[in-house]
Amino acid sequence: MKFIVSSAALLKELNNINGVITTNPVVPILENFLFEIEDGKLIITASDLQTSMITELEVEARESGSIAVPARILLETLKNLPEQPVTFSMDEKTYSIELSSDNGRYKLAGENAIDFPKIPEVTDGYNVDISTDALASAIANSIFATSNDELRPAMTGVYVNLSPTSTTFVATDGHRLIRYRRVDVASEGEHTIIIPRKALNLLKTTLPVENSNVTVEFNTANAFFHFNNIKMICRLIDERFPDYENVIPANNDNHMSIAKLDLLNSLKRISIYANKTTNQVRLKITGSELQISAEDLDFSNEANERLSCEHDGEDIEIGFNARFLMEMLNNLESKDITLQLSEPNRAGLIIPKEQNDNEDILMLVMPVMLSNYV
């Protein structure tokens, strides 16, 4: 089997799917790319059993065939080659691979393509079309709040609820919750799936910058994403997602509005002085003034700042994890936000004041018990 391809074009496609490959895969052959030549096209697959990505590009080839190619050594070789045509010659009996370029020749040992795991297909499924802009925004606004706790697998992914009127993306780690809703994405029926964090991270890095269409197909076991020349198949998380609607407090009579950057920059400064274990900051709202303070008793560090705000409600004092607040604010594009509160021991809601007509963002953060310093 032999084909000729541009080194830069091949490297670009390999980089698009290389994120799937893990350093210590369950099956050693998954350290390889699967190369398949069909009708003058090179189809490349990378997989970790849970998630697979497939891409293709035009090559000069006269015959069909397949082989597994070591990913790391191939990528390192291509990264250090200047742009030029590269000829791949493969012996399908010994699985040896030879690369010929203007600079020289390189030999590496491949493996039998038959040993590469079969990629699942989505059968008896449902489908929905979503723009790359909408999908990228949904991922960016939710993925950071997923949990790392493998004992609660449902929370390690993003819950997606598709309905005839909208699609809702929800992520939570037990300390904060993000509900991101799109009214411009809808399906024919009501469906719910949980997409793993790794698959969404891979999508986030490979989605094209220019707005285009992503076709999503899914059944109870797998989801399939197709955009441009890239396909991704991931195994869904088969767990029950927490009843998130019951967690969102309904009566929040205390509203504080403030410029997002003013609050974020203040939190960045104040959090330097917070306890490194709890990251606790204290928000004290009195009238149209917000006082933010933190103290680390172990090192006698403390800091406080005052900011102007718009406030509608009773004076309130509440504690939050500064890291959670900063991460949530960093992911909002709105210039101004509203913090909705009810009691010091109940969750607070962060709502962006400026939102796209097609989206509805709600961020919930649990309070932390205030220590008794004044």
What structural domains and CATH numbers belong to the chain? 2-115 (3.10.150.10), 126-245 (3.10.150.10), 249-365 (3.10.150.10)
pLDDT (average), residues 63-84: 96
- Cα gap 164→352, rounded to integer Å: 25
- Alpha carbon dihedral 10, 14, 17, 21, in 10-degree steps, equals 160
Flag whether pLDDT at 372 surpasses 70.
no
- Cα gap 63→47, rounded to integer Å: 25
String of DSSP letters for 128-166:
EEEEHHHHHHHHHTTGGG----TTSGGGGEEEEEE-SS-
pLDDT (average), residues 47-51: 96
Residues of the chain with pLDDT > 70: what percent?
99
pLDDT (average), residues 186-206: 95
Q: What is the pLDDT of residue 250?
A: 87
pLDDT (average), residues 132-148: 96
Structure confidence at residue 286 as a pLDDT band (50, 70, 90): very high
String of DSSP letters for 204-227:
HHHS-SS--EEEEEE-SSEEEEEE
Q: What is the pLDDT of residue 251?
A: 87
pLDDT (average), residues 137-155: 95
Q: What is the pLDDT of residue 373?
A: 45
- Considering only 80-84, 119-123, 177-181, which range has the smallest mean pLDDT? 119-123
Q: What is the pTM of this model?
A: 0.92
CB 348 within 8 A of CB 318: yes
| CB neighbour burial string for 115-130, b if at least 16 within 10 angstroms, e if fewer | ebeeeeebeebeebeb
- Cα gap 285→104, rounded to integer Å: 70
Structure confidence at residue 374 as a pLDDT band (50, 70, 90): very low
Encoded tokens for 21: 């490959």
Encoded tokens for 333: 């594009």
CA 186: distance to chain centroid? Answer: 21
Q: What is the pLDDT of residue 371?
A: 62
